[in-house]
A and B are shown apart, each in its own frame.
Chain A
């Protein structure tokens, strides 16, 4: 399994952009990069995923480095509701191991 490194915590001000980094230097060529977040007292929720190209959806953008050894989740305008733990998870696509391995993630605090 590819190992990931994320900062333990980050702070942001409301309505400002947030860039959440993740290093995954041992990622294989077939691993998708998934991001999930977990709001307080809730189960995790899917945010975004990508393989090589940058990806955008209504929740966030995912910028993937050309060598795929790192990626950055971008929240364009943080809201108080975005305060959560954000998990970066490489997942082997089509492999025999289908479960996501959650690390400790980054706890994002958003200040009004």
Chain B
């Protein structure tokens, strides 16, 4: 597609449930990033994939968070046993590689009630 696509655009879930967020990067982009943004706050880095290298998971806030990228394309961010503090907009970006411009998706707004 022409841009980075994220789904769903909005997700409301009950505390304790698991959620999966999907990111479809721009075709041919080797790097893919996940960030989250709590209301009124800046962007917090979560995880980064580059080609076939092991992902940089240094930003994941707890072991309830995990992400995978299948076939070097689509990525799924999974949050297990969601908590209210997980409520945020989850943003995905892709780029052609290091040092090159990122294209962000519109994000998934997650609300944990």
Q: How many Å from the CB of A22 to the closest CB on chain B?
A: 15
Given contacts A43-B107, A44-B43, A105-B42, contact A98 B31 (CB under 8 A): yes
Contact mask for chain B residues 77-98; partner A; CB cutoff 8 A; 1 contact, 0 none: 0000000000000010100001
Q: Which of A42, A49, A93 contacts B101 (CB 8 A)?
A: A49
Q: Which of B42, B48, B101, B103 contacts A99 (CB 8 A)?
A: B48
Q: Which residues of chain B come closer than 8 Å to A98, judged between CB atoms?
A: 31, 33, 48, 50, 56, 98
Contacts beyond the supplied A44-B43, A44-B102, A95-B98: 8 A-B pairs with Cβ under 8 Å: A42-B106, A45-B104, A46-B101, A46-B103, A94-B98, A99-B33, A99-B59, A100-B102
Asked if residues A94 and B104 are in contact (CB atoms below 8 Å), the reply is no
Cα of A101 to Cα of B31 in the assembled complex, Å: 15
Identify the B interface with A (CB < 8 A): 31, 33, 35, 42-43, 45, 48, 50, 56, 59, 91, 93, 98-99, 101-107
* Total A-B Cβ pairs within 8 A: 50
Instruction: Say what secondary structure dominates the interface of chain B.
Output: strand
Measured as residues with beta carbon below 8 angstroms from the partner, the interface class of chain A is: 20 to 34
- 11 A-B residue pairs with Cβ-Cβ distance under 8 Å, sorted by A, are A43-B93, A46-B101, A46-B102, A91-B99, A98-B33, A100-B33, A101-B45, A102-B35, A102-B43, A104-B42, A105-B42
Contact mask for chain A residues 27-67; partner B; CB cutoff 8 A; 1 contact, 0 none: 00000101010000011111001000000000000000000
In the complex, what residue of chain B is closest to A43 when comparing beta carbons? Answer: B104
